[in-house]
């Protein structure tokens, strides 16, 4: 575990001590813009390494306001010009069971903020078809897409993504792995249907085996309201606490408000 880094003012002593107990590498930044700048620079590095090794950078995008700020930055100059978009292959960590054009769709948010503004080949953007009536079949189909596109990892041959971007809900959920949902205990499937504790309730989500097989995983966390969820990670009693890449890197990009709430 590395010590917490910082950008801008450091959190108070007690918060700094708590941050050092988060698993992985922790850095603290000034607001959403600070998180976005730091995460973009990190993505540039790991994308270059992945594309040099395999010709692809396979990334699962997250939904939410904090990732949106990152996506808008990546789609702006100079990031848009300096990124090798033809190497990117895009997946999603989860999706709500709504049409892709509906408000609240993770795909719609990613398309508006990033995908429609950069030259990623259309065939390399793989959305979750969560609007389908049979969510179990949609989950199995998306797992097949992952398996075909990603190299296998470990004895179970889990699809290995180069990067998974993650959010943190106030109740400690990440992707659509919610407290108490049966999806938390799935070990033999890579994508499953899940049930949120707020509307829209029905979801598709990657499972922990896929998150833990990733080469890099990063939580983007902003706001004092996330303090209790971060404390839940420290206690180990929320879903996000169960993300532990087995052969990869885990990072936390926090803003000062989230870090200070510890």
| Per-residue pLDDT tens over the stretch 198-217 | 999 999 999 999 999 999 99
| Statement: residue 2 has pLDDT above 60 | no
| Omega of the bond leading into 78 within 30 degrees of 0 (cis) | yes
pLDDT tens, residue by residue, 31-81: 999 999 999 999 999 999 999 999 999 999 999 889 999 999 999 999 999
Report the distance separating Cα 150 and Cα 58, nearest Å: 7
- The model carries a pTM of 0.94
Q: How far apart are CA 191 and CA 119, in angstroms?
A: 27
Provide the residue ranges of all domains of the chain, joining segments of one domain with +.
27-234
Output the pLDDT for position 262.
Answer: 84
The answer to whether the Cα torsion of 184, 215, 58, 141 is positive or negative is negative
Residue 177 DSSP one-character state: B
> Tokens 């983007």 map to which residue?
220
List CB contacts of 116: < 8 A, sequence separation 6 or more.
none
User: Phi, psi at residue 200, to the nearest 5°?
Assistant: -70, 135
Distance CA 196, CA 180 (A): 10
Which pLDDT does position 140 carry in this prediction? 98
Cα–Cα distance, 43 to 37 (Å, whole number)? 10
Q: 41 CB contacts (<8 Å, ≥6 apart)?
A: none
Which segments of 110-230 are extended strands (E)? 152-153, 158-159, 163-166, 191-195, 202-206, 216-221
Cα(177)–Cα(164) distance, rounded to whole angstroms? 14
Q: Residue 226's Cα: distance from chain center in Å? A: 16
How would CATH label the architecture of 27-234? 3-Layer(aba) Sandwich (3.40)
> What's the pLDDT tens digit per position in 67-124?
999 999 999 999 999 999 999 999 999 999 999 999 999 999 999 999 999 999 999 9
């Amino acid at each position: 575990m590395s010590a917490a880094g910082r950008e801008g003012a450091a959190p108070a002593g007690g918060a700094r001590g708590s941050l050092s107990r988060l698993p992985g590498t922790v850095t603290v930044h000034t607001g959403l813009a600070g998180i976005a700048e730091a995460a973009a620079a990190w993505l540039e590095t790991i994308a270059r390494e992945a594309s040099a090794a395999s010709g692809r950078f396979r990334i699962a995008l997250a939904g939410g306001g904090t990732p949106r700020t990152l996506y808008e930055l990546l789609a702006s100059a100079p990031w848009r010009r300096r990124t090798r978009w033809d190497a990117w292959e895009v997946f999603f960590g989860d999706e709500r069971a709504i049409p892709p054009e509906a408000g609240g769709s993770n795909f719609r948010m990613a398309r508006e903020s990033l995908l429609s503004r950069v030259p990623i080949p259309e065939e390399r953007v793989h959305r979750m078809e969560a609007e389908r009536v049979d969510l179990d079949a949609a989950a199995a189909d998306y797992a097949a897409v992952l398996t075909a596109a990603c190299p296998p990892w470990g004895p179970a041959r889990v699809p290995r993504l180069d990067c998974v971007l993650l959010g943190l809900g106030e109740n400690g959920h990440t992707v659509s792995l919610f407290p108490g949902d049966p999806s938390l205990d799935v070990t033999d499937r890579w994508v499953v249907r899940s049930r949120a504790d707020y509307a829209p309730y029905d979801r598709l989500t990657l499972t922990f085996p896929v998150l833990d097989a990733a080469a890099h995983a990063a939580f983007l966390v902003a706001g004092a309201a996330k303090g209790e969820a971060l404390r839940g990670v420290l206690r180990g009693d929320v879903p996000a606490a169960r993300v532990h890449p087995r052969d990869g890197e885990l990072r936390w990009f926090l803003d000062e408000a989230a870090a200070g709430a510890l």
